[in-house]
Amino acid sequence: MTLFIKFDFNTVCKKVLETKLDALNIKYRILAFGEVELLEKVPSETYQILNNSLNDFGIEIVENQKSILVQKIKDVIIDMVFNEDSEVNVKSSVYLSEKLGHSYGYLSNLFSEVTYTSIENFIIIQKIEYTKQLLLTTDLSLTEIAFKLNYSSVAHLSTQFKNATGITPSAFQRIISKRRTIAQQKK
């Protein structure tokens, strides 16, 4: 049997954080996605246990100031792309600058310096991941997805999708459909 799972990345991460912090009796307050305020000094041994247990879930505690800002850039981009409630009608450069309180030039240079890729490329990757998720979990057409993700056309989305994945969105849908059919036949 094959399960097809839809999940909210933000909710999953928040739940893992809460579970791990509560298990270690650490007093905390979640400030924003990817940001937790510790309300008391945590012994280094407990901090290391927390760090190790979060690493098991692919969650990393960021301590370097540049890395912290880069993580905030990533978090804002992920929220901008994946958040169902946010209708971002401004350029991503303006949105990032307003959200993070730095010029886009500064954010762009820092991001490239730390990640060896551009903000624009990271946004495209996130949009393609979200497109795949929407194709897997909704009945939205490619036209509706392109509109939802602020693409100028379906052709633009299709081109970026193919550049990122090596296949067209239609081919991706056919592959998924075929896998579902095979999974149904095995039952």
pLDDT of residue 87: 59
Segment 71-100 shows an average pLDDT of 83
Segment 142-164 shows an average pLDDT of 92
Task: Give tens-digit pLDDT for 69-83.
Answer: 999 999 999 988 887
Say which residues have a Cβ less than 8 Å from residue 123's Cβ, sequence separation at least 6.
77, 80, 81, 92
CA distance 174 to 177: 5
38 forms bridges with which residues in the sheet? 28
CA distance 1 to 31: 40
Per cent of the chain over pLDDT 70 is 95
Global pTM value: 0.69
How does strand 35-38 pair with strand 28-32?
A: antiparallel
> Measured between alpha carbons, how far is residue 175 from residues 65, 168, 172, 179 in Å?
42, 11, 5, 6
pLDDT score of 56 more than 80: yes
At 36, phi and psi to the nearest 5?
Answer: -125, 130
Segment 138-163 shows an average pLDDT of 92
SS3 per residue for 47-87: HHHHHHHHHCCCCCCCCCHHHHHHHHHHHHHHHHHHCCCCC
What is the 8-class DSSP label of residue 30? E
Task: Give tens-digit pLDDT for 41-52.
Answer: 888 899 999 999
Q: Of all helices (H) and strands (E), which one includes residue 28?
A: strand 28-32
Say which residues have a Cβ less than 8 Å from residue 102's Cβ, sequence separation at least 6.
69
